[in-house]
Amino acid sequence: MARLVKKFGGTSIGDADRIGNAAAKVAEAVAAGDEVVVVVSAMGGMTAELAARCDKVTDAPDPAERDAVLAAGEQITAGLFSMALQALDIPSRSWTGWQLPVRTAGKHGAATIDGIDCKAVEQELAAGGVPVITGFQGLGRDGRITTLGRGGSDLTAVAIAAAIKAERCDIYTDVPGVYTADPNMVPGARKLARVSYGEMLEMASMGARVLQPRAVELAARESVTVRVLSSFDRQPGTLLSAAPGNDSGPTVRGIACAEDMSSLALIGAGLGADPAIRRILMDTLASEGISAEVGAESDVKIVAQVPPEAIRSAVRALHSVFGLESVPHTKNQGA
In the chain, the domains with their CATH numbers are 3-174 (3.40.1160.10), 261-333 (3.30.70.260)
Share of the chain above pLDDT 90, in %: 55
pLDDT score recorded for residue 294: 62
Mean pLDDT of the chain: 84
Q: What's this model's pTM, rounded to 2 decimal places?
A: 0.77
With cut-offs at 50, 70 and 90, classify the pLDDT of residue 75: very high
Peptide bond into 101 cis (omega under 30): yes
Q: Is the pLDDT of residue 64 over 90?
A: yes
What average pLDDT score do residues 113-133 get? 97
Answer yes or no: is pLDDT of 332 > 80. no
| Predicted confidence (pLDDT) at residue 182 exceeds the cutoff of 90 | no
Q: CA distances (Å), 314 to each of 42, 111, 113, 215, 262, in order?
A: 26, 16, 22, 23, 11
Rounded Cα distance between 153 and 242, Å, is 22
Among residues 145, 171, 220, the alpha carbon closest in space to that of 22 is found at 171
